[in-house]
Amino acid sequence: MEIKTVGIVGAGQMGNGIAHVFALADFDVVLNDISQDSLDAAMELIGNNLDRQIGRGAITEDDKAATLARIKTTLDLKDVAGTDLVIEAATERESVKQAIFEDLLPHLKPNTILTSNTSSISITRLASRTDRPEKFMGFHFMNPVPIMQLVELIRGIATDEPTYKALLAVVEKLGKTAASAEDFPAFIVNRILMPMINEAVYTLYEGVGSVKSIDESMKLGANHPMGPLELADFIGLDTCLAIMNVLHEGLADTKYRPCPLLTKYVEAGWLGRKTQRGFYDYSGETPTPTR
């Protein structure tokens, strides 16, 4: 099926970026959230990010106006159900995602494809709670969505070939690159990335190095654009912990045990950039290590 309209559930860090790239690629977008403030903030951020693209010469003012005109915001989840493709981009908690799909089911068109932007949760299990597991896939964008080129496509055990090919065509239209992953905990990117971040936290926890020395070592010694602790703050420490828990529980291997220090930071509400404090303190002009 040809996909022309896209519904996005969740206007947060990932949802607004997904709305941005779809609208810029000529899809009509319905962006849903439970908070009007979140929707307003998302539209403001999309506008600012489009301005950055104008500044780089990537798009024109007319492109920006057309992109914003293609995005409709709504507080009513039913408004999303009439689209060709639904992308759930809510918080990384399985119970929340399942509740969203259950609320959508009575209102969906017969051919609507359901997807989740989950970074770690079982696609097969999410799909099994819907009326169309054959039309359900993992559709995992990387953050920040307008910049990052990769999209992970994850087939559940019941996903059919037409659904996979339809999403592959969508990724191509977005100008991004698809990586096909099997439905195992955390897929490809986070299966590799999160244990590295967790090991960096262990390195800090055990006193092997400071926040500054760990991040500088990986930036200058491994040529990473961001240090692992800086990256964890950017992603959100609660998200990092959630993914490590999925890996630990799903694969039953102690090498995926979340570092106690990561758990402690999350318990303290030190979640990284979004709370102005994580492994760095962001309240001043420049980030300052907290350990």
What are the catalytic residues?
119, 140, 152, 190
Q: Using an 8 Å Cβ cutoff, are 153 and 60 in contact?
A: no
Please give the Cα distance from 143 to 40 (Å, whole number): 20
Quick count: other Cβ atoms within 10 Å of Cβ 248? 17
C-alpha distances out from residue 200 to 22, 213, 224, 246, 275, Å: 35, 11, 13, 19, 21
Beta pairing class for 85-88 and 113-116: parallel
The Cα 221–Cα 123 span in angstroms is: 36
User: Which residues, including other chains, have CB under 8 Å from residue 12's CB and lie 6 or more apart?
Assistant: 33, 38, 42, 89, 90, 91
Strand ranges inside the chain, DSSP E: 5-9, 28-32, 71-74, 85-88, 113-116, 136-141, 150-155, 177-181, 280-281, 288-289
Q: How far apart are CA 223 and CA 145, in angstroms?
A: 22
Amino acid letter, residue 19: A
Residue type, 272: G
Length in residues, the chain = 291
Query: Quick one: tokens of 208?
Result: 């092997």
Q: Report CA-CA distances (Å) from 244 to 153, 179, 201.
A: 20, 21, 12
Render 61-107 in DSSP notation, one character per residue.
HHHHHHHHHTEEEES-GGGGTTSSEEEE---S-HHHHHHHHHHHGGG
Q: Which two structure tokens, joined as six digits, stand for 291?
A: 């350990």
